[in-house]
Each structure stands twice: as structure tokens, then as C-alpha cells.
Amino acid sequence: MAKVTFKTDLCKGCSLCVGACPKGIVKLSETKLNAKGHHPAEVTEPEKCIGCAFCATMCPDCVITVER
Amino acid sequence: MSVVFEKPKSLTDAVLHYCPGCTHGIIHRLVAEVIDELGIEGETIGVAPVGCAVMAYNYFTCDFVQAAHGRAPAVATGVKRSDPSKIVFTYQGDGDLAAIGTAETVHSAARRENITVIFVNNAIYGMTGGQMAPTTLPGQVTQTSPYGRDVETVGYPVKVCELLSNVDGAAYVERVAVNNVKNIKNAKKAIKKAFQNQIEGKGFSLVEVVSTCPTNWGMTPEKALEWVDEKMLPYYPLGVYKDIYAEEEAK
């Protein structure tokens, strides 16, 4: 069981985490905007997360915290 | 559940001013993680450059000095010599270290100053709006080389690691990249070694980090990472260019 949390307001929508996720479950939100006006990254199917922290490793802005 | 990844304690809560997808953020984090792991936050003094990373002092919790353009290794020399118990590192871009600061870089290496240099190479002047840098690849289009860098008129890129590997004073020189998870892990190892060398008094250590500039390259951040693999790394091969202690051990 793994859990990723996003500090959404820090996200700049660069999508580097999207390309890094081996399970393909990190996506940019199509409906939400954050305070900066970016579409923030989010996890679409949290139950599939393996807690590898690849997304957090690629994130330039320390948006993501990973627990496992 | 335990936390397996979070923001390092040596980074402040300030929001990074870098463009979306700029790998400066990753390199800042790697440096902060290394400072955390070595437990040297209170002993570390950073030297910020002129360039995109000019405001690095806002992001690290350790002490910082901001140097004139290219002079970071000279300032770091002064800081380190005045208090050798401190851990001193510079964080410089290619316009800072490989252009206006080439002399300071080469001579601080030649003197084997016991400092750590983090050199971020993204082949362009980022802060000023994407002009051609000494590290710009042949044929690369920038604001000041709209038809691509013409080596007949403006010469060839400066390869800092290859250059410094011929300087007897340099103790450790390695080139790494941050375009995928594997390379990021290797980059962290190299940065950690560069700091450990200084703690052990081994002398001048430089880590060149091949980086991206999606905004001025005119690409999406993800495409920029691919461009690093396709164009940058063939010209700037990764690896250890000099490690005098490993060479001595091998003998």
C-alpha cells in the first residue's frame, strides 16, 4: 500500500512526473486549476500506486510526498 | 506507512522561481538532500552565481554569498581559506562558469582549492532570454544563432570536464545528467562524493550536471529531456573524467 500526496499549489504543470510514472497513473488534471493557473498533477487510480517515488524524483518543485 | 520521499530539510519553503520543467529544481533538491544526509547544514556556505540560479540563497537554508558574474570560485576560495572548517560550494550555470568565469574555474582547480563546484550545463543563456552560450551545440538554434551555431565563425563548444581533467590540481571531475530517474540517482552520488571529498580535504571537486532549458530551447519539458538524450549526451558524454584518489588506489 502506497500513498502519494501533491502540494497542488506548488505544481507548475510541467508533466515530468507524468512521463516518469511506470504505472501511467499520474496525469495532469483536466478539470482543476491551482492558484498559479496551472493544471496540477494528480493520481488517477491511487490503488495502483507502488510507491516507487519516480514521480517525486523527477519533480523539480518538490510537490510530491510519497509514503509506503 | 513511513515517508519514503519528501522535500529535504535544507530547502526552504520558498516557491522556486524557475520555469515549469526546469531541472534546476531537481539539482537544488539533490544538493539539499546531500547536505541533509551528511548533516552539514549548519557548516555549509554556498556561493550563488549570476544567471537563473542567482536567487539560490532564497531556497537553501544554509548560509549563502552571491558572487559577481563568474567569480563564484574566487569568492569560494576566500570563504574557504578564511574558515577552512566550513563546507563551501558554488552553484553555477554554463554562462557563469564556462564563459565569463573560465579563468576563475581553471585557476581554482589548478590551485586545488578545497571547494565543491556544481556546474549546471544547459547549453544556453537562460536568464537573459536564450542567447548562444560557450556550451551551445554546433548547429543549435538560439536567439543569437538563428541559423544554428556556425563553428566556422563562433568556434566550438567548451567541454569543461574534458578541459579540467587535464588540470593537475583538479581532484575529482564528473559529468552527470538529470533527464531520467537513473541519471538523477547517479547525479546524487556524484554530488555526495564531491561534498565528501571536501570534508576529507581532498581538494577541488566539480560535478557538471547536463540540464535543460525548455523555455529557451522552445520545447515542452518532456521533449527537452528527450533532446538531452538525443543531442546533448552524445556531445557531452557522462562519466568520471578525473578522480586522482581512485587513480592512486588503482596503482
* pLDDT tens by residue, B22-51: 999 999 999 999 999 999 999 999 999 999
Give the rounded distance of the alpha carbon of B194 from its chain centre: 11
Contact (Cβ atoms closer than 8 angstroms) between residue A1 and residue A66 = no
Residue B140 has what pLDDT?
A: 96
Sign of the alpha-carbon dihedral angle for B177, B181, B182, B185: positive
Residue B32 has what pLDDT?
A: 97
Residue of chain A nearest B24, judged by CA positions: A60
Total CB pairs under 8 A between chain A and B: 76
Q: Name the CATH superfamily for B24-250.
A: Thiamin diphosphate (ThDP)-binding fold, Pyr/PP domains (3.40.50.970)
Selecting from A16, A53, A61 the residue whose C-beta is nearest the C-beta of B4 gives A53
Mean pLDDT of B211-240: 96
| Shortest Cα distance, chain B CAs vs residue A51, angstroms | 8
The residue of A3, A12, A15 whose CB has the most chain B CBs within 10 angstroms, and thus the best one to mutate to test that interface, is A12
Residue B251 has pLDDT above 80, yes or no: no
The residue of B17, B181, B182 whose CB has the most chain A CBs within 10 angstroms, and thus the best one to mutate to test that interface, is B181
Residue that has been written with the C-alpha cell 535544507 in this structure: B10
Residue B198 has what pLDDT?
A: 97
A2-61 residues touching B, CB cutoff 8 A: 2-3, 10, 12-16, 18-20, 38, 51, 53-54, 56-61
Residue among B233, B197, B214 at smallest CA distance from B25: B214
Question: In angstroms, rounded to a whole number, what is the distance separating the alpha carbons of residues A29 and A44?
Answer: 9
Question: In angstroms, rounded to a whole number, what is the distance separating the alpha carbons of residues B67 and B97?
Answer: 12
* pLDDT tens by residue, A15-50: 999 999 999 999 999 999 999 999 999 999 999 999
Query: Would you place residue A52 in the very low, low, confident or very high pLDDT band (cuts 50, 70, 90)?
Result: very high
* pLDDT tens by residue, B159-205: 999 999 999 999 999 999 999 999 999 999 999 999 999 999 999 99
Give the rounded distance of the alpha carbon of B228 from its chain centre: 16
**pTM above threshold 0.90:** yes
Residue of chain B nearest A52, judged by CA positions: B4
* pLDDT tens by residue, B52-101: 999 999 999 999 999 999 999 999 999 999 999 999 999 999 999 999 99
ipTM of the complex, rounded to two decimals:
0.96
Total number of domains constituting chain A: 1
B187-246 residues touching A, CB cutoff 8 A: 214, 220-222, 225
Domain range spanning residue A42? 3-67
Q: What is the CATH number of the domain that holds A20?
A: 3.30.70.20
